[in-house]
Structure 1
Amino acid sequence: MSTVEEAEKAVETYNGYDLSVRLLTVNKAAPGGSQPKRRVVVNSFKIYVGYLAWQVDNSEQAFSQHGKVIDARVIYNRETGRSCGFGFVTMASETEMNDATAALDGHVC
């Protein structure tokens, strides 16, 4: 960044930013080996969904029966475009996340 203000704005804007399957961690660089203070990112209500059938392209339908789905994504291989067989579903609340997990854990889609 060209100024301290730009760096601080970038940290404020992008630290904790949800980038598909990961939350970004953005801090100002620390001089000479010192460590910046770690910032705590509030956990989202995101569920890992594994062992998806190759043809599954949207996990939202099964989960929406257990609460409001904020986001549902199947992860694809960038080079082949083929499903990786897993994805993530973000629910609106912890209760909905727990209900969906309890109801669908081990469920065959």
Structure 2
Amino acid sequence: MRGTRVDLSELEETVRKLGRLTTAMGESVTKSKYNTYLPDGALGSHRFVESTELTSAHRQMKAHIEEIIRVINDAIDDFGTKTKIVHGNYQNAEYEAKNGMNGARSGAGE
């Protein structure tokens, strides 16, 4: 592990970017749920067989898109959480290494 260095500012930037991505995905969730609503009869009366089929296909696709967005959001949240944990761990290790060296120096002079 000697010589390995982690750029904490890059990890911080990744966390910020994930936050922005989560915000943008929130708009997609809202749009997929509420801006794609298709009321019954919007494509014709129930006597029009294709209307029923189209409405059913629309509902299935809407549910599929919502599920895809949920999976993407879960992946972003998971990655963001793990990135924050890794950042914290490296920050702690850096702090301990720095203080360990300082403590060794101050103790050696006594």
Fold agreement, TM-score > 0.5: no
Higher strand share: 1
TM-score by length of 1: 0.23
Max Rg structure: 2
Q: Which structure has greater helix proportion?
A: 2
Flag the structure with more relative contact order, 1 or 2, with Cα contacts below 8 A and sequence separation at least 6: 2
